[in-house]
Amino acid sequence: MKTKSKKILSLVLASIMLLMTLTACGKEETSSTGNVKGNGDGELIGVSMPTKSLQRWNQDGANIEKALKELGYKVELQFAENKIDTQISQIENMITKGAKVLVVGSIDGTALSTVLESAKDEGIKVISYDRLIVNTDAVDYYATFDNEDVGKIQGEYLETTLGLKEGNGPFNIELFTGPLDDNNVNYFFGGAMKVLQPYIDNGQLVVKSGQVSKEQAAITNWDEQEAQARMDNILTANYTSEKIDAVLCSNDSVSLGVQSALKSAGYGTEDKPMPVITGQDANIANVKAIVADEQSMSVFKDTRALANKVVEMVDAIIKGSEAPVNDTTTYDNGVKVVPSFLLEPEAVTKENYKELLIDSGYYTEEDVSK
Ligand code: BGC
């Protein structure tokens, strides 16, 4: 073959190869997170969730596992049934098995320093999931919803519904939040009280039990029965002759407990309607309660979006690229400010639940009908 024809042939071949490569790139299959599938190279990712007893953590765990597997990662998913020791030994086990990244939804944000130090010594990266892990530098990223915003949305809902800005009142209100070892509680309760405190101070809101501090409003492990028992006591001691107009509940499990106590005390009838009650998570039982006018609102935190964000973080860590972060100032864990990605929570009510929860495919209509 003449040199000129050889050159042309190799040029043609090179172009064909380039074209093939480009076409292959264009055809790469992507996962639900938009990441290229199959790039995880079988690395092990440990996912430690606090408990199966609450609907949301089951969804979180399942969503993260699915998305990671789609990317080619192996996943060790464990639920710790709200027992701190169980969570610690499950994490130790993940370290022993060779996990490269740990995704941890902590039970007690203060209790993981020692186990996470040993993860750090092994070069394992740690993502704090939904709840901030505190008092350790062995946490690399934090993925969550804007927790202060959750509280603010609840507070503002009460403010609007009761017409507090217009000067209405006085109204009787009681306050319920989560456990003090869940760092989120500081933001949930704090965010809500920023809105409500001025109305307590000026007398438009009256807390007849006198229990206004976070410590007094706290419910261990977000436990429904404990919330119910506390509400039973408050009703018996303070509301035999007066009615209660509103209850701030930081989440849905607490809200359900409060609703049970109220119903036992005769609320939920035409003469004695349920007070205005908040919640958080848009759990199925609570969406049903919203439809039945027993709960007024919840705060929707799309666990699919949070799981996808954390999977993007994991993938970036493994590939050595930049993990997504949109807040580098808010979440000081006592040792460092943890680079965070905050997603936006939304109020869900009887008016918008179909659009937010059904149309988006989060639930089916059957899920939330009686
Ligand atoms: C989460 C909430 C949840 C609560 C109880 C909080 O840390 O942010 O979504 O309702 O824990 O599990």
The Cα 121–Cα 118 span in angstroms is: 5
Does residue 37 form part of some domain?
A: no
pLDDT at 370: 72
Assigned token pair, 123 = 């070069």
3-state helix, strand, coil in the chain (%, to 5): 45, 15, 40
Answer yes or no: is the C-beta of 251 below 6 A from any ligand 1 atom.
yes
Answer yes or no: is the C-beta of 224 below 6 A from any ligand 1 atom.
no
Does residue 107 form part of some domain?
A: yes
49 DSSP 8-state letter: E
Does residue 49 form part of some domain?
A: yes
129 and 155 both lie in a single domain: no
Does residue 24 form part of some domain?
A: no
CATH number for the domain harbouring residue 268: 3.40.50.2300
184 and 110 both lie in a single domain: no
284 and 306 both lie in a single domain: no
93 and 163 both lie in a single domain: no
99 and 153 both lie in a single domain: no
pTM: 0.89
Q: Specify the ligand 1 atom closest to the Cα of 301.
A: 9
55-70 vs 303-319: helix crossing angle, rounded to 10: 40
Q: Specify the ligand 1 atom closest to the Cα of 131.
A: 7
293 and 157 both lie in a single domain: yes
Answer yes or no: is the C-beta of 131 below 6 A from any ligand 1 atom.
yes
Nearest residue to 130 via CA among 73, 65, 188: 188
pLDDT at 19: 47
Q: What is the mean pLDDT of residues 187-194?
A: 98
* pLDDT tops 90 at residue 27: no
Cα of 176 vs centre of ligand 1, distance in Å, is 13
Does residue 339 form part of some domain?
A: yes
Does residue 161 form part of some domain?
A: yes
Structure confidence by residue, pLDDT tens digits, 95-147: 999 999 999 999 999 999 999 999 999 999 999 999 999 999 999 999 999 99
Q: Measuring from atom 6 of ligand 1, which residue has the nearest CA?
A: 184
Answer yes or no: is the C-beta of 54 below 6 A from any ligand 1 atom.
yes
Residue among 49, 51, 52, 54 to mutate when testing ligand 1 (max atoms within 8 A of CB): 54
Answer yes or no: is the C-beta of 188 below 6 A from any ligand 1 atom.
no
Q: Measuring from atom 3 of ligand 1, which residue has the nearest CA?
A: 251
* pLDDT tops 60 at residue 18: no
Per-residue pLDDT band at 25 (split at 50, 70, 90) = very low
**Which residues contact residue 334 at a Cβ distance below 8 angstroms, ignoring those fewer than 6 apart?**
134, 135
Structure confidence by residue, pLDDT tens digits, 222-255: 999 999 999 999 999 999 999 999 999 999 999 9
296 and 216 both lie in a single domain: yes
151 and 214 both lie in a single domain: yes
Q: Measuring from atom 9 of ligand 1, which residue has the nearest CA?
A: 281
Per-residue pLDDT band at 21 (split at 50, 70, 90) = very low
Q: How many domains does the chain have?
A: 2
Answer yes or no: is the C-beta of 184 below 6 A from any ligand 1 atom.
yes
Per-residue pLDDT band at 13 (split at 50, 70, 90) = low
Q: Specify the ligand 1 atom closest to the Cα of 281.
A: 9
Q: Specify the ligand 1 atom closest to the Cα of 251.
A: 10
Structure confidence by residue, pLDDT tens digits, 320-337: 999 999 999 999 999 999
Q: Specify the ligand 1 atom closest to the Cα of 50.
A: 12
123 and 158 both lie in a single domain: no
Cβ contact 73:317 at 8 Å: no
Cα of 230 vs centre of ligand 1, distance in Å, is 19
255 and 183 both lie in a single domain: yes
Assigned token pair, 172 = 């009787």
For residue 321, give its domain range.
Answer: 44-146+302-344
* pLDDT tops 90 at residue 40: no
Q: Specify the ligand 1 atom closest to the Cα of 144.
A: 8
Does residue 38 form part of some domain?
A: no
Assigned token pair, 173 = 């209100």
Answer yes or no: is the C-beta of 280 below 6 A from any ligand 1 atom.
yes
Residue among 130, 278, 340 to mutate when testing ligand 1 (max atoms within 8 A of CB): 130
Sheet architecture: strand order including 340-343: 74-79, 44-49, 101-104, 125-129, 141-145, 340-343
Per-residue pLDDT band at 26 (split at 50, 70, 90) = very low
Mean pLDDT of the chain: 92
Does residue 11 form part of some domain?
A: no
137 and 209 both lie in a single domain: no
Cα of 236 vs centre of ligand 1, distance in Å, is 28
161 and 130 both lie in a single domain: no
